[in-house]
Each structure stands twice: as C-alpha cells, then as structure tokens.
Amino acid sequence: MQVTDLFSKFDPLIAIRKEMLSHGGRDPFAVVMEKVLSPTKAIIKGKPVILLGTYNYMGMTFDPDVIAAGEKALKEFGAGTTGSRVLNGTYQGHKACEEALKDYYGMEHAMVFSTGYQANLGMISTLAGKGEYVIIDADSHASIYDGCRLGNAEIIRFRHNSPEDLDRRLARLPKEAGKLVVLEGVYSMLGDIAPLAEMVAIAKKHDALILDDEAHGMGFFGKNGRGVFEELGLEGQIDFIVGTFSKSVGTVGGFCVSNHPQFEVLRLVCRPYVFTASLPPSVVATAEASIRKLQKANDKREHLWKNSRRLHSGLKEMGFNLGTETAQSAIIAVILPDQEQAVAMWQNLLELGLYVNLARPPATPAGMFLLRCSLCAEHSDDDVTEILAMFKKAGQATGVLAA
Ligand code: PMP
C-alpha cells in the first residue's frame, strides 16, 4: 500500500513558484530587510529602497517617544511575560494600553490580544456559537474566515460590499436566532471602503450585532482617527470594533473595544485570548505611547491623504489600471493582467529602488494579480514624485505601459 505523501497537495503551488522563479527573477515572497532606516526607507540586497508596501500608515515605528517607552518597559519589566493574560501575563502596561484604547475610541471596554489575527479569531468564534449565525463579506480578511472556522456558528457570506445582498441573506435567517454581522472599514486588497452606513442600518433592522474590523482605517479616517465608521458618522452604532497595532500603531498586537455591558466575560471564555502568552511589556508600552500620539496626529492624517490622492491620480494618468476610481484609503492597488507582468513590474521597481507588495490569489479577490502600494504619512512630497517616476520607468520597461 502506498501511503499518501502529505506534501503532495502542495505540488501545484510548488510548480507555480518554480515557473515564477525560472526566469531568473527574485522571489517576491522572500525579501529580507537588511536594515530599516526609517518608516519609509530600508536597505534590501545592499541597496537603499523607498518602502511603499508596509502598513506603517502613520510612520510611528521610529517615533522617539514610542521607542523611549518601549526601552523603558523592556528594562523595567523584562523581555516577556511568559504567561496568559488571565494568569500571570497581565502587567500594568497591558492595562495602561487598554486605557489608551478606551480613551482613543471613547468606549467602556477594551481587550488587548497578542495579534489582530487572534482578535478576530477570538471575537468571532466566541460571540457566535451553535445555532447562531455569522454573516460575512465574501472578501473578508483571512482572520475573519479563520474565526468562523474556529467557532460553531453557521457562516453566511454576502456579495462584497453589497448592502442588498446582506439584506436578502439576513431576511432568510430565523428571526429569533443570534446573529453577528462582520464588516471591514477598508478592504485591504483593493483599498476600497465599505458602505458601512447602509450595512449597519440593515444589520440593525434584522437585530444582528455588528463587528467592524478597522485594521486599515485606524489612524487616519475620522476626526479622531478611529476609522471609517467615525468618518461616516456611525459612532455608537457598532457593537465591537476590532483593530490591530501592526499598522498605524506601528508595533504588533490586536484589540477589541466595545460598550457591551457583558463584554468583560469574554476574557474568561475567548480561547485565543486565554490560551496564548500576552504581549511583551515593551510592545504594549510602545502601543500605548503610539495610540496616545495618534489621537493628536491631525497634521499626519492630512499629509497621508495628500500622498494617497497624489499617487492615485499620478498612476491613473499614466494609464495603470487601479483597484478604485479615486483614492479611497492609503492603499492603492495596481491591477496587472497576469503573474508574469506582475512579477516583472515588481522586480523592475525593486531594482529601481522601490518596494511594493505583490499580491496574488488566493489572497486577492477574483484571481487578481496586484502590486499593492500603501502610503505612509512620512513619505515626503519628493518621495511621491520619485515613486511616480519609478512606476513610469518600470511600466515602460516591462511593456505594461506603452513606451
Ligand atoms: N484584519 C485585517 C483586515 C487585516 O488586514 C489584518 C492584517 N493584515 C488583520 C486583521 C490581522 O492583523 P495582525 O497583523 O495584527 O494579525
């Protein structure tokens, strides 16, 4: 009897990668940042590059106050907690970070998780159980899909950003059953934002609770940088806001904030919160310092929007096919027809001194190949000019743009 090779299911992927690398190109998924000079500059293969493929939207990674807070906590509290939040792993820094989140969002409760991925895993799998429903957008982030898999609720998908489809699907469910609608403020592959006002109204009409993942909206949407829901005037209407420290906050970690009166019980029943070690003291200290500064970062927010609009209109004028008609967020996605052109453009840009993210199926919707550009508030006007010039050069060299 022949025993199945557990790795044989990966053969198609191994073949695709082989083909991609067979032209002597670099591996887009094995880039090493040899040095990081600032939120927007790094050294890759000995060469300086402008970073246009990070989630460092607000440029907080090198903020002197953030670094000082981390250094102090590292010295005073050590390198790690070696334990769960519910046992020995809650330090005063975790509570201070939760206080900063409550102030930032103006909400009663905040729970810090070890990553944003775990925040979605935990919230979704714990809130909705057997006989209940989670209703998600078809283009939801992997952490939302995985949260659904970890739980026992029934999962219903609706068409991406379609309030009508959400309404139709909710109407088919038993009226008395518990329901959780999961939305995202910004969808990270194409950088498009959700019609949250319509969706929230529909979810409420059907008595569903609402969870909104603002991973890519925190920092620069809304007067206080709370996210797309704030920008759209939906404060007080969303039951759970999930977010991450790995984007605008500039470190690592995840959270959920809420005004739900029973929220604190989740600390005892949410497995991805209980059964993992808490964040190191230095990390929660950097997060707290960063969140407090982001509250007052209006100049940075404005500059980030200016950068995003300039890059979007510049690329559009050159003739690139973009994920959105206008700049809806700080993510500008350049759509390429196939893997070959996407890899060629990616490589050409890197050689010219620009790093962007290459995204391919299954991470992307509708089998798309994307060069995902994400701007930072620390990109200067000259950086954006240089970035546009590099896109033009790479586009012409690869034949994506007419010469
Ligand atoms: N939600 C969304 C929408 C995301 O894009 C991401 C990360 N890319 C996460 C959650 C997970 O965040 P983290 O990096 O903190 O695990």
Pocket of ligand 1, candidates 246, 255, 284: which has the most ligand atoms within 8 Å of its Cβ, to mutate?
Answer: 246
pLDDT value, residue 17: 84
Over residues 271-300, the mean pLDDT reads: 97
Measure 24 CA to ligand 1 centroid, in angstroms.
32
Over residues 344-362, the mean pLDDT reads: 94
For residue 244 and ligand 1, the question of a CB distance below 6 A is answered with yes
Over residues 207-213, the mean pLDDT reads: 98
* Total structural domains within the chain: 2
* Annotated active-site residue in 125, 188, 329, 374: 188
Q: Which of 294, 317, 348 is the last residue of a domain?
A: 294
CA-253 nearest atom, ligand 1:
15
- The CATH code of the domain that includes 365 is 3.90.1150.10
Measure 397 CA to ligand 1 centroid, in angstroms.
34
- Is residue 13, in this structure, part of any structural domain at all? no
pLDDT value, residue 403: 76
Query: Are 235 and 333 contained in the same domain?
Result: no
Mean pLDDT of the chain: 96
- Is residue 1, in this structure, part of any structural domain at all? no
The yes-or-no verdict on residue 293 having pLDDT over 90 is yes
For residue 215 and ligand 1, the question of a CB distance below 6 A is answered with yes
Over residues 64-86, the mean pLDDT reads: 98
Confidence of residue 122 (pLDDT cuts 50, 70, 90): very high
pLDDT value, residue 93: 98
Query: Are 302 and 285 contained in the same domain?
Result: no
- In Å, how far are 117, 123, 181, 208, 290 from 213, measured between CA atoms? 11, 11, 11, 16, 19
For residue 263 and ligand 1, the question of a CB distance below 6 A is answered with no
The yes-or-no verdict on residue 189 having pLDDT over 80 is yes
SS3 helix, strand, coil % of the chain, rounded to 5? 40, 20, 40
pLDDT value, residue 124: 98
The yes-or-no verdict on residue 373 having pLDDT over 90 is yes
- Is residue 11, in this structure, part of any structural domain at all? no
* 247 is annotated as an active-site residue: yes
Over residues 19-42, the mean pLDDT reads: 89
Over residues 27-32, the mean pLDDT reads: 87
Over residues 382-399, the mean pLDDT reads: 97
pLDDT value, residue 88: 98
Query: Are 132 and 205 contained in the same domain?
Result: yes
Phi, psi of 136 (to 5 degrees): -130, 155
- Is residue 8, in this structure, part of any structural domain at all? no
The ipTM value here is 0.99
The yes-or-no verdict on residue 245 having pLDDT over 90 is yes
The yes-or-no verdict on residue 115 having pLDDT over 90 is yes
Residues counted in the chain: 403
* 140 is annotated as an active-site residue: no
The yes-or-no verdict on residue 25 having pLDDT over 80 is no
Confidence of residue 339 (pLDDT cuts 50, 70, 90): confident
For a pLDDT cut of 90, what percent of the chain falls above it?
A: 92
Q: Give the residue from 202, 184, 203 showing the smallest Cα distance to 194.
A: 184
The yes-or-no verdict on residue 24 having pLDDT over 80 is no
For residue 140 and ligand 1, the question of a CB distance below 6 A is answered with no
Over residues 344-354, the mean pLDDT reads: 96
Measure 272 CA to ligand 1 centroid, in angstroms.
15
Query: Are 130 and 192 contained in the same domain?
Result: yes
Over residues 199-224, the mean pLDDT reads: 97
Over residues 376-384, the mean pLDDT reads: 98
- In Å, how far are 39, 115, 252 from 88, measured between CA atoms? 34, 19, 20
CA-55 nearest atom, ligand 1:
8
Domain containing 315 equals 18-58+298-398
Eight-class DSSP state of 4: P
